[in-house]
A = this chain, B = another copy of it.
Amino acid sequence: MDSQEITQETETDPRPWLRIRELAEAGAWPELRELLEELDEPDRVYAAARLPAELLAAMLEELARGDAASLLGLLPSSQAATAIEEVEPGAMAEILEVLPSDERADLLAQVGSQELSAILAEAGLDTSEATRTLLQYPPDTAGGLMATELFAVDESSTIGDVIREVRGNRHFTDFQIQYIYVVSAEHILRGVLQLRTLVVASPERPISGLMIRDPISVPTSCPMTTLEEIFDRHAFLGVPVVDEQGVLLGVVHRSAVEEASAESAQADHMKSLGIASGEELRSMPVWLRSRRRLSWLSVNIVLNIAAASVIAVYQETLQAAIALAVFLPMISDMSGCSGNQAVAVSLRELSLGVLRPNEFLRVWRKEALLGVINGIALGVLIGVVAAVWQGSGVLGFVVGGALALNTLVAVSIGGTVPLLIRRLGQDPALASGPVLTTVTDMCGFFLALSFATLALDALRV
């Protein structure tokens, strides 16, 4: 398969999803399975996402367990959860049995507690207990992200013993196991053996001399940020999770952490745009979508009223120098842009590790110098436009001066606020939001309108 073929695959005919729906409605499962088989992954996901929950559930019951499980993993999680609740619990238990423990727990995390109990009652005792244990941990901790499938050997083994165990182990071939964990008789983690060591070392050697001793491990409560740090710094494919006694409980795979951080970044982005709970799909009911978007927009109105009240105070000035009204939204927008640029540079420097959250002064000096240069450049530009367009040099000075000063204010706030928020232990990405914009708006309106008040006699002419 070369790249050309792949590109073609994603550009397929859009109609198969309709055919899948017709087949599902007619209950023509053999034909549906056949058609689904022919589709590639994106088309399969798209077709499944378009089915109403009951039809999707009916289809999941009729597919091979493995196919149903992989489809569930690819759907948006809210949609997967709704479908899981509709599937007959016995069938659902069988589908979930195919998945590794961490993916199983992820899927069940959003399912209602009644449906969850029904499904787990149908599952094997081991699966049921393991799943309940995993679901106890918060989803963004090592406990919530770990898989319990792992391959552990006793510390007294030889390489030959391990190879024999590997050959007879179901987990080893079923799942993508990359490390062999070495434990004491009490199941306390002692070391890690790399797969390559099994190939390179001679069978009679004891593993105690070949394993990596005292490997990095984390407690179940380890937060996702720490896991991200570990995987950032080390090329590990997984990190073992232990309890307070050092007993090995599970493994957090790199892929699980990467997936979880991508999802949380997405959710944060949605939240920063004012979509409550961080998720919206257009297949959700309109009242839910509307409420989630409105919850933020109504807060934003309050911020806007705060900014607008500055204009209201100077209403008389504005009436006397009405040409200024043309430039107020411009000052607001330009200052917002300048401020957000400074925020973005601070966020990037923080994430690269070349900026520390306590360096307010350094950041401010660097931003202030740039703010003066850009402020003068933008101020002159907008000032000339204002003077020529409205035929008033004084207006040019008022508008240009306000934008110049407000650019300095915006980059100073924008550059330093992310540091402040980080020091307060919050996510600095919050800074690029509407609070910054509101403050720069208020300041910009105030500067422009108070300059205008001072120059009112000249402006009135």
Contact = CB atoms under 8 A, between A and B. Distances in A.
A252 to B, nearest CB: 12
Contacts of A6: 226, 229-230
A245 interface: no
Interface in A227-272: 229-230, 233, 235, 255, 258, 266, 269-270
Q: How large is the interface on A (under 10, 10 to 19, 20 to 34, 35 or more residues)?
A: 35 or more
Given A46-B353, A270-B344, A349-B282, A370 B235 contact: no
Contacts of A217: 1-2
Contact of A273 (B229, B297, B340): B340
A318 B349 CA distance: 45
A398 to B, nearest CB: 15
B437 A294 contact: no
B275 A341 contact: yes
A176 interface: yes
A353 B49 contact: yes
B319 A322 contact: yes
Contacts of A121: none
Interface in A284-323: 286-287, 289-290, 293-294, 296-298, 300-301, 304-305, 307-309, 311-312, 315, 318-319, 322-323
Contacts of A10: 229
A344 B226 contact: no
A108 B392 CA distance: 54
Contacts of A393: none
Interface centre among A79, A230, A341, A378, by most chain B C-beta atoms within 10 angstroms, is A341
A437 B233 CA distance: 40
A333 interface: yes
A360 interface: no
Given A2-B217, A176-B235, A441 B7 contact: no
Contacts of A281: 345, 348-349, 352, 354
13 contacts: A163-B199, A173-B196, A177-B196, A275-B345, A281-B345, A282-B367, A289-B370, A290-B374, A290-B377, A296-B337, A297-B378, A308-B329, A315-B323
Interface of A: 1-3, 6-7, 10, 14, 41-42, 45-46, 49-50, 74, 76, 79, 142, 163, 166-167, 172-173, 176-177, 195-196, 198-200, 216-219, 221-223, 226, 229-230, 233, 235, 255, 258, 266, 269-270, 273-275, 280-283, 286-287, 289-290, 293-294, 296-298, 300-301, 304-305, 307-309, 311-312, 315, 318-319, 322-323, 325-330, 332-334, 337-338, 340-341, 344-345, 348-349, 352-356, 358, 362-363, 366-367, 369-370, 373-374, 377-378, 381-382, 385, 389, 434, 437, 441, 445
